[in-house]
Structure 1
Amino acid sequence: MSHNPLPRFSRRGVLAAGGAAALGALVSACGGDGGTVSSAGGGAWTWTDDRGEKVSLKARPQRIVAYVGAASALYDFGVDQQIVGVYGPVTLKDGRPDPQAGDLPMSGRTVIGNAYGEFNIEKYARLRPELLIDNMFVDGQLFYVPAESKDKIFALAPQAAVSTGAVALPKPVERYAALAASLGADLNAPKVTQARARFEKAAETLRGAAKEAAGRGIKVLAASGSPDLFYASNPGKNTDLIYFKELGVDLIVPDKVGKDGYFEELSWENAGKYAADVIILDSRTQALQPKDLAAKPAWRDLPAVKAGQVVPWQPEPRFSYAGCAPILEALAKTVQTAEKAV
């Protein structure tokens, strides 16, 4: 798989709503275009997702099945018991949690698929789902829901999609915060407010580090490797890269991206097309890592590789303050310490 959030085999500024009060206002204003909060004693629950589709239930959903990245983001905001099932990259081959799982405990939750193309409809039906929640990297397409069986899946429960492509990182974080609040989470809980403060501080740290690094001419390439191709990622498409660029990171923009706009495919003979001082490299299990790429002369010849300035990149972040703050902190450290390699 490429660094593109879409599996290859299937195919501004700091937070606009920083602070618990602003998030509370965001949630309460969502009656028409985001969602309404059910009362503790019951009552109707509605949510308009990022496809523009409105979900209306007689009560707040208590049996939610979600893409694991969506589930872990909701968990960071305080949604727990309602999540009865997950799908997507839940565990690694060695049994450890996939980074997408974050801090989400799996005990008591049914895993209905652990890889792309795996979605056990029978297990899903037995869970009696009231709501399906997923990321949406391409308009209208729920991530990791197999296209060939989506009609059967969608017939079993309504869905809520959060746009996680072509928007800056704070936007999906805010949307998951608002969705979590509508599901009963307390955005004023210390766990949430502390994570938000860390995120905001990390964003400002990265802004300062990026400005200093840009002044020294440090250029960064987001990339992914496969046996046959080297992928140069488009910072105008990936939600995290959009935000990094807004904060001042000098990210290289490939000039011949594919139809979905996420990356440019380069043969290994042309891997040096974009000279970068730093490479942030797709760290997901489906992408080749530096140890896997070491045998390729074209990889070894890249200036950033020669300089030892290749760092891990998670192209599909966990869309919560807790999930994103460490990413901003790590990138700030990277650009602060980077030296010219080109």
Structure 2
Amino acid sequence: MAAVPRRTLIALGIAALAGVSACGGTATTASPSAGQPTWTWTDDRGKNISLPRRPQRVVAQSGAAAALWDFGVRPVAVFGPHRLKDGGRDPEVGEVDISKVESIGNVWGEFNVEKYASLRPDLLVAGMYQKNTLWYVPQESVQAVDQVAPSVGVQLSGRPLVEIIEKYGQLAAALGADPKAAPVVAANSRFDAASAALKSLAAARPGLKVMVVTATPDNLYVAYLPDHPDITYWGELGLNIVHPARPTESEGGFWEVLSWENADKYQADVILVDARSQSMKTEEMAKKPTWAKLPAVRAGQLYPWHAAERYSYLGYAQVMEELKADLDQARDDLVK
């Protein structure tokens, strides 16, 4: 969410395909007739996209690409974290086969508009943490990107986890995927089972306190539950989440920002630490004296939090299965 370097906008000789009107969130596919679109979709910005045919060439931000992939859509290109420094697949891109998709950017602020245009995309898809702002599309490139193809934004923050997953499923179906395909049905059942197991654990161990954090060399960020759909969902299942009463306003929500000297403001039996590649690693955090004295740190009860998990049944089934396995082995008597 940091500022990104300014790029020079390029003049593209490609007509804009997006139309703006109406509100809602559904797609329709009609029989062709003179002057009538055959595919429409209204996204979470209220943008109504109308196209002469169902989009075939989809480009998606890595998290959106991962969700669509699990529902059966195969994007032609991705942007956002998808390739690690060693060439391996970044967890943020899920099951996407990065050897079979083009890359138009791998880090924040990197979006190759020229390459994007050369791919002749029909549609761009990205999640939105901030209202009306497509994740990983640099602000200075928005105008040029919009000239190439229409875009669909899926609101992520401030929305129930299951609702977000369902939205990606609906979009995938509108793009031609089969919502009753065996892998999709199996993933849905696995998600339900993982939810039930985590709910049972929470009921059996109400005293187990869990906190979720990310960190930089300067600050510890404690997750504000209402702005994170996954953590909110776990709280609804009964997990005892330690979280601030309000976020730090300068951060636009999501976190309470603490100096490392105040890292002991909240305490928990278990701490889930941001597993993203750009987040500070636990071995680095261990050098901070106040952090090192926390009960969960001293007990070694630090487990990964998959902050950028794709919003699919498969993605969050795996996350909750791992979370339950971690919590099963954790002590719940470290703090009162």
TM-score by structure 2 length? Answer: 0.88
Q: What is the rounded CA distance, in whole Å, between the counterparts of 1:251 and 1:38 in structure 2?
A: 47
Q: Is 2:219 the counterpart of 1:225? A: no
Matched position secondary structure for 2:27: coil
Equivalences for residues 245-256 of structure 1 within 5 A = 245-256=235-246
Q: What is the rounded CA distance, in whole Å, between the counterparts of 1:209 and 1:238 in structure 2?
A: 21
Match of 1:155 in 2: 147
Match of 1:97 in 2: 89
Displaced runs of 4 or more, over 6 A:
none
Equivalences for residues 224-243 of structure 1 within 5 A = 224-243=214-233
Tell me the matched-pair count: 311
2:306 counterpart letter in structure 1? Q
Q: Is 2:58 the counterpart of 1:64? A: yes
Matched position secondary structure for 2:212: strand
Q: Which of the residues 213, 224, 247 maps onto 1:257?
A: 247
Q: What is the rounded CA distance, in whole Å, between the counterparts of 2:290 and 2:26 in structure 1?
A: 48
Deviations 1:1-48, CA, capped at 9 Å, x for gaps: xxxxxx3456xxxxxxxxxxxxxxxxxxxx9632124679xx711111
1:55 counterpart letter in structure 2? I
Larger Rg: 2
Asked if the contact 1:222–1:281 (Cα under 8 Å) also holds between the matched residues in 2, the reply is yes
C-alpha distance 277-38 of structure 1, shift in aligned 2 (>3 A): farther
Q: What is the rounded CA distance, in whole Å, between the counterparts of 1:199 and 1:329 in structure 2?
A: 9
Q: State the Cα distance separating 1:256 from its structure 2 match.
A: 4.3
Matched position secondary structure for 2:180: coil
Match of 1:17 in 2: none
Match of 1:189 in 2: 181
Long gaps (5+) in structure 2:
5-22
1:49 counterpart letter in structure 2? D
Q: State the Cα distance separating 1:300 from its structure 2 match.
A: 1.0
Which shows bigger deviation, 328-337 or 97-106?
A: 328-337
Which shows bigger deviation, 248-257 or 131-140?
A: 248-257
Match of 1:23 in 2: none
Equivalences for residues 25-36 of structure 1 within 5 A = 33-36=25-28
Asked if the contact 2:24–2:43 (Cα under 8 Å) also holds between the matched residues in 1, the reply is no
Matched position secondary structure for 1:204: helix
Long gaps (5+) in structure 1:
1-6, 11-30
Matched position secondary structure for 2:261: helix
Q: Which of the residues 169, 174, 180 maps onto 2:172?
A: 180
Match of 2:38 in 1: 44
Asked if the contact 1:210–1:336 (Cα under 8 Å) also holds between the matched residues in 2, the reply is no
C-alpha distance 107-94 of structure 1, shift in aligned 2 (>3 A): closer
Q: What is the rounded CA distance, in whole Å, between the counterparts of 2:128 and 2:270 in structure 1?
A: 29
Which shows bigger deviation, 105-114 or 223-232?
A: 105-114
Match of 2:272 in 1: 280
Q: Which of the residues 70, 73, 86 maps onto 2:78?
A: 86
Q: Is 2:322 the counterpart of 1:307? A: no
Which shows bigger deviation, 319-328 or 100-109?
A: 100-109
Q: State the Cα distance separating 1:130 from its structure 2 match.
A: 1.3
C-alpha distance 123-200 of structure 1, shift in aligned 2 (>3 A): same
Q: State the Cα distance separating 1:337 from its structure 2 match.
A: 2.8
Q: What is the rounded CA distance, in whole Å, between the counterparts of 2:31 and 2:192 in structure 1?
A: 31
Match of 2:103 in 1: 111
Matched position secondary structure for 1:286: coil
Asked if the contact 1:230–1:271 (Cα under 8 Å) also holds between the matched residues in 2, the reply is yes
Deviations 1:101-122, CA, capped at 9 Å, x for gaps: 1111123421000000000110
Q: What is the rounded CA distance, in whole Å, between the counterparts of 2:326 and 2:204 in structure 1?
A: 12
Match of 1:329 in 2: 321
Q: Is 2:121 the counterpart of 1:129? A: yes
Q: What is the rounded CA distance, in whole Å, between the counterparts of 1:187 and 1:151 in structure 2?
A: 34
1:71 counterpart letter in structure 2? A
Q: What is the rounded CA distance, in whole Å, between the counterparts of 1:32 and 1:164 in structure 2?
A: 16
Q: What is the rounded CA distance, in whole Å, between the counterparts of 2:85 and 2:72 in structure 1?
A: 28
Match of 2:17 in 1: none
TM-score by structure 1 length? Answer: 0.87
Matched position secondary structure for 1:236: helix
- Aligned-CA RMSD value: 1.8
Query: Identical aligned pairs, as a percentage?
Result: 44
Asked if the contact 2:225–2:231 (Cα under 8 Å) also holds between the matched residues in 1, the reply is yes
1:131 counterpart letter in structure 2? L
Q: Is 2:323 the counterpart of 1:341? A: no
